[in-house]
Homo-oligomer: A and B are copies of this chain.
Amino acid sequence: MRGTVLYGPRDVRFEERAFPKIMKPTDAIVRISAACVCGSDLWPYRGIQPIEQPTPMGHEYCGIVEEVGKDVRTIKAGQFVVGSFATSDNTCAICKHGYQSSCVQREFMSAAQAPFLRVPLADGTLVSTSDMPSKDLIPSLLTLSDVMGTGWFAADAANVKPGSTVGVVGDGAVGLLGVLSAKQMGAERIIAMSRHSTRQKLAREFGATDIVTERGEQGIARIKELTKGIGADSVLECVGTQESMMQAISSTRPGGYVGFVGVPHGVSLDLGQFFYTHVHLHGGPAPVRRYLPELIKLVLDGKINPGKVFDLTLPLDQVAEGYRAMDERRAIKALLHPNGTK
């Protein structure tokens, strides 16, 4: 089979790879129904997070179980599954607290931008649906693997509750799905920070009540104007830069919450200053596995349609164009179909 490998900055290749096989008795092999390019894939793509060797790419996936190892109990061949970008046994003390993405056996997935994928710890990482979902639901189910689960965690980590005022920093797919998550959790006012009309439109569609185009001090002032002069109850930081983190913290009211899910790159926090903000800070790699059952139900019941973030669909062998389009912000997020591959 052929799969996606990053060789260096802006050098994505779709090339011959070994067919994945069961290596441990807890593994499963999944035939990928759809995969996609993640915002976090752009860090190594841009060379900001250097790679040491050619690296198989992709960690968002859903599909049909092809084969399972002999110790796999709940997942069976033929089932449709969605899995987390981080593997988990779902039984350790950390998993029991709901932080499966810090599981003692965690591995970060890769090589999902391919027709077949090996998933370790299948019982603890994958969630199956009772029936085969209709094709039109595949994009939304795919998002649950990372991008939607991450937006959901951002809102949850930022303590969004019914009636909350919420700010969202970042208009990438995670930020937009953070808007959708905040809406679903009952937020009354959702302020999306965006300068890009396509993204503003989708933010509105997902539930944003206000759009702020200003950044820095002006952006903070604008958010305060909209929130009784004190800042938002909850702010979702969905970028991962020093500037975006400061924007998020400064836009939050004393006693409010920042949920941060943008993987921080070179971000440091002066705690002597942070102390006087009285802001709660929580984030990290989203414990997607915790949310999967609930989010799958919301998608199957037609309550949420996070698949709308895909504004570019490509056959898998054109994966390099997916990276380019996202890098150049021509696309919010690119969905990849193995079926269309030549």
Contacts and interface: CB of A to CB of B under 8 A. Distances in A.
Given A97-B255, A255-B97, A283 B272 contact: no
A260 interface: yes
Interface in A224-260: 228-230, 245, 253-256, 260
8 contacts: A94-B254, A97-B254, A97-B256, A263-B272, A264-B275, A268-B270, A269-B269, A275-B284
Interface string A64-105: 000000000000000000000000000001100111011000
Nearest to A290: B255
A329 interface: no
Interface of A: 93-94, 97-99, 101-102, 228-230, 245, 253-256, 260, 263-272, 274-285, 287
A225 to B, nearest CB: 13
Contact of A278 (B99, B229, B230, B276): B99
A270 B281 CA distance: 13
A260 B280 CA distance: 11
B267 A272 contact: yes
A245 B271 contact: yes
Contacts of A282: 279-281
A262 to B, nearest CB: 9
A97 B287 CA distance: 29
Nearest to A261: B275
Q: Which 4 A-B pairs have the closest CB atoms?
A: A102-B254, A264-B271, A99-B255, A267-B271
A134 B271 CA distance: 41
A65 B276 CA distance: 30
Nearest to A245: B271
Contacts of A94: 230, 253-255
